[in-house]
Amino acid sequence: MFIYTKIKHIFLVPLCIYLLLASCAHMNSYNTYYNAMECYKGATSGKSLNVTLLDKCVEKCAKILTFYPDSRWVDDALILSGKCFYIKGDKSQAETKFKELLNFYPESEFVPEAEVMLGKIALERDDEVEAKRWFKRASKDKRVKEEVDYWLTHFYFSFGNYEKAIEQGELYLSSFKEGKFKVDILRILGEATDSLERYVAALNYYKAAIPIGEKKFDLTLRVADIYLKMGDVAEAKKIYNSMEPQNGEEERVLKKKIAFCFESEGDYENAITSLQDVDDQESVFYIGMIYEKQANLQQALEAYNDATKRAPNTEIGKIATKKASALQEILMLQGILEPKDTLQFDTTYVDTNTLVADTLQADTVNDTLVGFAEDTTSLPDTLKDFAALRMRLAEIWLLEFKNPDEALKQYRTVLEEFSESEYIPKALYAIAWIEQNTKGNEKGALEGYRTIEKDYPDTDYAIAARRQIESIEKSEERGVKREE
């Protein structure tokens, strides 16, 4: 009996020690995970992100993975640390953690969530194929269906598939009538229908989002913007004026929007006054555009120069710099060309190939005019060839300012005043191209192309004109067949 008892004690003591240690390890891993969760909640619950707490959360998750690799909290630690890295912006580390979870714990309850997160990371790096693959994988699990439907809507919209985004968004709304992403879905649907110029539908989506959305200013602004696009300036202005800005930025936005309303009504004076009240780079740039629209080129130049000085390296600053350079050249060219009849210049032909391109190529009706010089800052070394200067002026209006009417005026002046110039076929081609691609006047374009083919058959413009004639005729044939 004594021997039996002794043997029993020999086995029981190590067993008890093992159970005690296992229990301690379990408690330690649980406590570590609990503290990690508390750090995560503290880091993300406030108005601003607490990066220090996120780092502590990652440290505690790493402790579980290192010291308690057999703990039941390992997959919890992986998903949590991955989310911390994602929130911090370290998408590479986040991706690693989510994939570790999928590879080592394929039965974990967190697998669908990890797949959604991997889809989001792929979406953010514009990897369309990978993003769609992860979202489709996650969609098989009902626990994350709402989130997957939301992200699929976001996915389709991000890659410009607006019809599919609308279809997916409507599916979300029908499946989750009070879903947590409802406001975001309505906003995406508003943007998608707006992009497709379905303005009434966009209005309905934005209006539905306003009562339940937190960002009421932004949503109301979108409603007014849609009315402005629809041409209902009075309603747009009414909404803008009824809005109460909560800070200086919102006040500046409203003043700009009201200025756009004035401009749409042709009230340029009040539009400029409203923009001057804002007095930032964007507003000064818009003032330049209004002056440009009024053909007040000197004041437009001054406004663009002002916009450039404020922040030359911004997108607006770069555009303003380009416009200012082009306007400066226009003013210089106009100064040369307008008094040309009273000036005594030797008008003997001078080669100006460095000023303008030799050939125009337009393979289809949708092609742009390839071959125009895009550097709007270069002037010829001589003032002898007024035809070249006039052509240059036309090109600036067309390419830099997207003003086909002013470009046509200059090209036609070349035809009238320089009928013997070698630029005539180029001017004819440019006129035909503008009629075809900006005016929708294919009949007039055909006449121009055929004139080039007939009168200037040995030029490069005749070759390009023949391609355009063939393209237009084929298009007309297809139209006839459809009608039959």
In this prediction, residue 481 carries a pLDDT of 54
Q: Region 426-454: what's the mean pLDDT?
A: 94
Q: Considering the chain, what is the average pLDDT of its residues?
A: 84
CA–CA gap between residue 61 and residue 38 (Å, rounded): 12
Tokens of 178: 């009070």
In this prediction, residue 480 carries a pLDDT of 54
DSSP 347-391: ------TTTS-S--B-SSTT---BTS---TT---S-S--HHHHHH
Span 208-266, pLDDT tens digits: 999 998 899 999 999 999 999 999 999 999 999 999 999 999 999 999 999 999 999 99
Task: Kindly report the pTM of this predicted structure.
Answer: 0.71
398 vs 364, more confident? 398
pLDDT(285) > 50: yes
Buried b (16+ CB within 10 A) or exposed e, 27-44: eebbebbeebbebbeebe
Of 463, 447, 442, nearest to 362 (Cα)?
463
Span 114-147, pLDDT tens digits: 999 999 999 999 898 999 999 999 988 888 999 9
399 CB neighbour count, 10 Å cutoff: 17
Architecture of domain 215-277: Alpha Horseshoe (1.25)
In this prediction, residue 447 carries a pLDDT of 94
CA–CA gap between residue 284 and residue 272 (Å, rounded): 9
Q: Compute the Cα dihedral for 54, 56, 60, 65 and give only its sign.
A: positive
Same fold, 215-277 and 348-483: yes
Q: What is the distance in angstroms between the CA of the first residue and the CA of the last residue of the chain?
A: 110
Q: Which CATH superfamily is domain 348-483 in?
A: Tetratricopeptide repeat domain (1.25.40.10)
**CB under 8 Å to 380, separation ≥6 — which residues?**
350, 352, 354, 355, 388, 389, 392
CA–CA gap between residue 396 and residue 329 (Å, rounded): 9
Question: Cβ distance 226 to 206 under 8 Å?
Answer: yes
Span 173-203, pLDDT tens digits: 999 999 999 999 999 999 999 999 999 999 9
Of 324, 438, 454, nearest to 377 (Cα)?
324
CA–CA gap between residue 117 and residue 114 (Å, rounded): 5
In this prediction, residue 18 carries a pLDDT of 41
- Alpha-helix runs per DSSP H in 46-110: 51-67, 74-88, 91-104
Span 385-430, pLDDT tens digits: 888 999 999 999 999 889 999 999 999 999 998 888 889 999 999 9
**CB under 8 Å to 328, separation ≥6 — which residues?**
301
Span 27-85, pLDDT tens digits: 677 788 889 899 999 888 877 889 999 999 999 999 988 888 888 889 999 999 999 99
Question: Cβ distance 348 to 384 under 8 Å?
Answer: yes
Q: Region 452-462: what's the mean pLDDT?
A: 93
In this prediction, residue 195 carries a pLDDT of 97
What distance lies between CA 332 and its chain's CA centroid?
35
In this prediction, residue 49 carries a pLDDT of 86
What band does 460 get if pLDDT is binned at 50, 70 and 90? very high
Of 188, 168, 172, nearest to 180 (Cα)?
172
- Alpha-helix runs per DSSP H in 243-375: 248-264, 268-278, 281-293, 297-310, 315-337
In this prediction, residue 484 carries a pLDDT of 52
The structure tokens 């036609």 sit at 412
Domain map (residue ranges) of the chain: 215-277, 280-344, 348-483
Q: Which residues pair with 361 in a beta bridge?
A: 370
